[in-house]
Each structure stands twice: as structure tokens, then as C-alpha cells.
Amino acid sequence: PTPVVVAVDGPAGSGKSSVSRAAAEALGYGYLDTGACYRALSWAVLDSGIDAAVAADVVAGLDSFDFSIGTDPGNYFVLVRDVDVTQAIREPRVTGVVSLIARVPEVRDWLTRRFRGIIRSTPFDGIVVEGRDITTVVAPDAPVRILLTASEEARMGRRSKELTSESPEAVGEALRSRDRADSRVVDFMTAADGVTTLDSTDLDFDQTVAAVVELVTTTT
Ligand code: C5P
């Protein structure tokens, strides 16, 4: 049977990763963090010494950048070949090049094919897939499509709590500039036709997860 796909898009710091993972856990579904895959590819590009700004070199390396990702929400990991990069892909040096790599159309096509394969072969009844272009490109036919937003202030506040070693100003600027770069490639700030906007500005974490679960159980 084809799995129920729950597509979740949103900007950086919207809380979509932690919310999607917790919702998947509550629903007994799988969880696919597509941003982590863009990050894994970026880590592999840096590791191989390829200049991330030279799109042709990145594209030429694609098939050698093998990565795998855990889709069980209770057992999340990211590997590049046999290296566990679950933590390393969150480092600023990776975050600093990911938008450069994500803007290359061949990279997006290559990853989108991988995502669809992972979705098709999930052992769960459904899968929560989270990113920037899931509701529009990766799974536009998903029965549940959500744009998770929050005010810029709320997003900055949440993210600076995660990254305590950096000043709130630096965190804010890094987040804004990444969203600016990413927005030139995919629009994840406005809900496409048929996509439900869920604004979490005034919701706490548990309330946001409950709202996602509710949307899934009322729709499917
Ligand atoms: O979600 P996260 O912030 O980890 O995503 C990292 C980067 O991956 C984004 O800044 C964006 O450049 C890219 N991305 C994307 N399309 C997706 C998911 C992530 O371009 N579906």
C-alpha cells in the first residue's frame, strides 16, 4: 500500500524539524528530514575538497556522494558513506555552504528522486516529510500539506536558544541571509494552493505537534 505522505514546509527556525519528528512519532509514521540530506551532500562536498561554489564540480561528484538517513523518528541518524555526520551537518561551516549547493537544479533533481524513493519504500503506514519544497515539488499530491510559519521574532528566539554559543544578533543575521538565499530558489513563505498554513507564533511545542497530528487525523 502507498504510504500516507504528510508534507511540511517552512523557513529556518520555524521548528519544523522537531515538530515533524514528534508528530511522526505520535502517528507511528516515518520521518524524512530533507534539509539534513542537503546538509549531508554539503558535508560530502566539503569533505572531498570540491569548491561548493562551482556547480559543475558539485554535479560531477553527485553519484559519489553517497548518504543514508534514518527515517524511524525514534532512531534518527545521517551517514555519508560510513561516517556518522548526524552532528557535523549542523556545524556553521556546513550551514554556510548548503544554500549554494541547494540552488543547483541538478542537485535538486537528484535529491528529489532520492526522496521519492525513500518515501515509496518506507516500512511505515505514512511518512512526515519536511523541507522547503515538499508541498510544491517533492510531494505535491500528498493528502496533507502544511506550511509551518512563525513570526521572525519567534523563529530567531527559538534558534538562539538552540545555538547558545553565538550572539542572538549573529544567529538572526545568519538565519535571515539563509532564508533570503533559499527564497530565490523555492518559495516557502507563501502557502501554495491547497496548503494549510499553521502559524506557531503563539503555540508552544506540544500545541504545534498536536495541531499537525489533528490535521492528519481529520484529513486521512
Ligand atoms: O531544514 P534545514 O535548515 O536543515 O535545511 C538546510 C538547507 O537545505 C536549507 O537552507 C536549504 O538551502 C536546503 N533545503 C532545500 N530544500 C529542502 C530542504 C532543505 O533547498 N526541501
Backbone angles phi, psi at 81, to 5 degrees: 50, -120
Ligand 1 atom with the smallest distance to the CA of 185 is 20
Q: What DSSP element (H or E) covers 208?
A: helix 205-219
Grid cell for residue 39: 546538509
pLDDT at 163 over 80: no
Percent of the chain clearing pLDDT 70 (strictly above)? 99
Rounded Cα distance, 95 and 110, in Å: 20
Ligand 1: which of 98, 99, 101, 106 to mutate, most ligand atoms within 8 Å of CB?
98
Q: Tell me, what's the pLDDT at 12?
A: 87
- With H, G, I as helix, E, B as strand and everything else as coil, classify residue 199: strand
Give the mean model confidence (pLDDT) for residues 35-56: 97
For residue 48, is pLDDT > 90?
Answer: yes
175: confidence class by pLDDT, cuts 50, 70, 90: confident
Please give the distance, rounded to the nearest whole angstrom, from the Cα atom of residue 38 to the centre of ligand 1.
6
**pLDDT tens profile 121-141:** 999 999 999 999 999 999 999
Rounded to two decimals, the ipTM of the complex is 0.99
Looking at residue 168, what is its pLDDT?
A: 80
Confidence of residue 164 (pLDDT cuts 50, 70, 90): low
Indicate whether 101 pLDDT > 90.
yes
pTM for this prediction: 0.95
Confirm whether residue 165 is marked as ligand binding. no
Q: Report residue 199: phi and psi, to 5°.
A: -95, 115
Q: Are strands 67-69 and 78-80 parallel, antiparallel or unpaired?
A: antiparallel
* pLDDT tens column, 26-42: 999 999 999 999 999 99
Distant-in-sequence contacts of 109-112, Cβ < 8 A, 24+ apart = 110/62, 111/34, 111/37, 111/38, 111/41, 112/137, 112/138
pLDDT, residue 169, reads 85
Residue 165 scores a pLDDT above 80: no
Mean pLDDT of the chain: 94
More confident residue, 197 or 12: 197
Give 88's pLDDT tier (boundaries 50, 70, 90). very high
Identify which of 182, 185, 186, 188 to mutate to test ligand 1's pocket (most ligand atoms within 8 A of the CB): 182
Query: What letter would DSSP give residue 64?
Result: G
The predicted model gives 57-78 an average pLDDT of 95
Q: Which residues does ligand 1 sit against, CB inside 6 Å?
A: 12, 34-35, 38-39, 98-99, 102, 131-134, 178, 182
Q: Which band of pLDDT confidence, cut at 50, 70 and 90, is reported for residue 181?
A: very high
Average pLDDT over residues 79-106: 96
